[in-house]
Amino acid sequence: MPKEGHYINRSNWLRAAVLGANDGIVSISSLLVGVTSAGMATGNVALTGFAGLTAGALSMAAGEYVSVSAQADVEAADLERERIALEEDPDYELEELAEGLENRGVDAALAVKVATQMTDHDALGAHAREELGMFGLAGQANPLQAAGASALAFALGGAFPLIAALVAPAGYALMAIAVTAVLALALLGGGGARLGGAPMRSAIIRAVVWGALAMTVTAALGQAFHVAV
């Protein structure tokens, strides 16, 4: 009998990668579409794209570092409180663990036995999983790793529309940016869904629709404030 495949273990890094790449594609393509629609010269469009790519990648890195650090701090603080509680009142913590198991459908008498065995094996780990919903002790979240991955994903995603803007023939930059961005978003949506074992069609549609909406709005703003530079 074949084993069932699960993809939940990919959810954390896949979420970060898709978020970074999607943000890069949408942000840079929208920025380039906006300034191109406003009549900005090709050289200035390229400079704007490089500046946006650099600023966006650094912003993603800073945001991920700060958010993951905050998450790690909260996890560490909760674990420390749980560790102190286990030292000060182990009987209550055992009852709490058994009650949690019972609420999940385990027979009351068996829940006490299981809770006792779990406590003897790894009391803090058991409470981290059952009470705090933490599968693994604090320190697994790596702020530097998250920052680097997000910055790289943003840069790779934003590079597609930027390259399109640089190589497009005169007068076709706007179309090249938009088409490249849509194709990149479709590839990202489908690839992310495939890696996660999820339906690809809906993932592609939502990625393309939201990206196209962002480019449409910025293009309209660019036309509204048309200024040749």
Q: Using pLDDT thresholds of 50, 70 and 90, give the confidence band for residue 141.
A: low
What average pLDDT does this structure show over 215-222? Answer: 84
Domain boundary among 99, 130, 161: 130
Whole-number Å distance between alpha carbons of 16 and 147: 10
Residue 135 included in any domain: no
Do 204 and 166 lie in one domain? The reply is yes
Do 190 and 87 lie in one domain? The reply is no
Whole-number Å distance between alpha carbons of 164 and 183: 12
Do 122 and 150 lie in one domain? The reply is no
How distant, in Å, are the alpha carbons of 19, 25, 67, 152, 157 from that of 59? 13, 15, 12, 12, 14
Looking at residue 13, its pLDDT comes to 60
Do 87 and 200 lie in one domain? The reply is no
Q: Using pLDDT thresholds of 50, 70 and 90, give the confidence band for residue 123.
A: confident
Looking at residue 137, its pLDDT comes to 52
Looking at residue 159, its pLDDT comes to 95
User: In sequence order, what DSSP letters do the residues of 97-109 get, joined into one string?
Assistant: HHHHHHHTT--HH
Do 159 and 64 lie in one domain? The reply is yes
Do 22 and 121 lie in one domain? The reply is no
Residue 1 included in any domain: no
For 85-106, how does the pLDDT look when each residue is reduced to its tens digit (9 = 90+)? 888 888 888 888 888 888 888 8
Q: Using pLDDT thresholds of 50, 70 and 90, give the confidence band for residue 109.
A: confident
Do 62 and 175 lie in one domain? The reply is yes
> Domain span at residue 95?
74-130
Do 18 and 61 lie in one domain? The reply is yes
Write phi, then psi, for 220 (nearest 5 degrees): -65, -40
Q: Using pLDDT thresholds of 50, 70 and 90, give the confidence band for residue 51.
A: very high
The answer on pLDDT for 79 being more than 80 is: yes
Whole-number Å distance between alpha carbons of 150 and 202: 24
Q: How many domains does the chain have?
A: 2
CB of 213 closer than 8 Å to CB of 29: no
Q: Using pLDDT thresholds of 50, 70 and 90, give the confidence band for residue 139.
A: very low
Q: Using pLDDT thresholds of 50, 70 and 90, give the confidence band for residue 27.
A: very high
Do 106 and 147 lie in one domain? The reply is no
Domain boundary among 105, 130, 155: 130
Residue 136 included in any domain: no
Looking at residue 83, its pLDDT comes to 87
| CB neighbours of residue 3 within 10 Å | 5
Residue 137 included in any domain: no
Write phi, then psi, for 140 (nearest 5 degrees): -70, -35
| CB neighbours of residue 91 within 10 Å | 7
Do 110 and 199 lie in one domain? The reply is no
Question: Which has the higher per-residue pLDDT, 220 or 181?
Answer: 181
Do 152 and 62 lie in one domain? The reply is yes
Do 22 and 78 lie in one domain? The reply is no
Which two three-digit tokens encode residue 152? 């790289």
